[in-house]
């Protein structure tokens, strides 16, 4: 009988939660490091597995600004070197007014669209790849950068904290995708 009552309670709570107004919309933002914006997330906090996560960051690069615009994109590859999971929650780049985690999706009209994607889990299942046509950092308000420049930034993780990164400005990805 107690199990039956417990399941009924869980079912009612699930229905009420699903039917209620969300606390935050996909477009809501929170203030991140240094006042920069980061996408809000409605994910549960990661469980602590007793091992502090260690993130291995590779192939960080950024495109030069297209036609003098003040928006560009940055890319990288993340591996979880130790621990079971961490979550990339935000990023900031020196000189940028805002940085958003973005991805591509097919819209209702069949056209490819870029959208904020919010926090991203990094697991031991394989690399998390931020690449053209996929996940990327959308960088707004950064003074113009050209090929050969280097731009400093930080990736912020839920468990591992801040990870400094230097983005090499280039027209094409470094290395070979098979190296990812």
In this prediction, residue 178 carries a pLDDT of 58
Of 20-29, 125-134, 154-163, the one with minimum mean pLDDT is: 20-29
CATH 2.60.40.1890 fits 30-41+51-174, yes or no: yes
Q: 96: exposed, middle or buried (C-beta count within 10 Å: 0-12, 13-18, 19+)?
A: buried
Q: Residue 130 above 90 pLDDT? A: yes
| pLDDT digit string, tens, across residues 35-59 | 333 334 466 777 666 667 789 999 9
Other CB atoms within a 10 A radius of the CB of residue 29 amount to 15
Lowest model confidence (mean pLDDT) among 113-117, 134-138, 149-153: 113-117
CB 91 within 8 A of CB 39: no
Per DSSP, helices labelled H in the chain are 2-19
User: What sign results for the dihedral spanned by CA atoms 95, 98, 102, 108?
Assistant: negative
Q: Is the pLDDT of residue 87 over 50?
A: yes
Alpha carbons 16 and 36: distance in angstroms, whole number? 34
Q: What percent of the chain has pLDDT over 90?
A: 49
The yes-or-no verdict on residue 120 having pLDDT over 50 is: yes
Please provide the distance, in angstroms rounded to a whole number, between the alpha carbons at the two ends of the chain: 53
The domain segmentation of the chain, as residue ranges, is 30-41+51-174
Pairing of strands 98-106, 112-116: antiparallel
What six digits make up the tokens of 91? Answer: 């990023």
Which one is predicted more confidently, 121 or 5?
121
pLDDT higher than threshold 50 for residue 29: no
pLDDT at 76 over 60: yes
């Amino acid at each position: 009988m107690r199990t039956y009552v417990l399941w009924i309670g869980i079912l009612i709570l699930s229905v009420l939660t699903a039917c209620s107004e969300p606390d935050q919309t996909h477009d809501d933002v929170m203030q991140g490091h240094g006042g920069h914006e980061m996408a809000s997330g409605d994910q549960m906090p990661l469980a602590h597995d007793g091992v502090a996560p260690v993130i291995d960051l590779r192939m960080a690069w950024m495109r030069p600004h297209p036609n003098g615009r003040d928006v560009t994109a940055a890319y990288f590859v993340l591996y979880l070197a130790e621990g079971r999971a961490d979550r990339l929650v935000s990023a900031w780049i020196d000189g940028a007014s805002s940085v958003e985690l973005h991805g591509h999706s097919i819209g209702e009209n069949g056209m490819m669209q870029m959208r904020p994607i919010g926090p991203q889990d990094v697991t031991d299942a394989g690399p998390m790849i931020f690449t053209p046509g996929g996940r990327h950092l959308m960088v707004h308000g950064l003074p113009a950068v050209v090929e050969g420049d280097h731009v400093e930034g930080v990736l912020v993780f839920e468990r591992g904290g801040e990870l400094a990164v230097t983005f090499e400005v280039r027209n094409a990805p470094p290395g070979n995708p098979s190296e990812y």
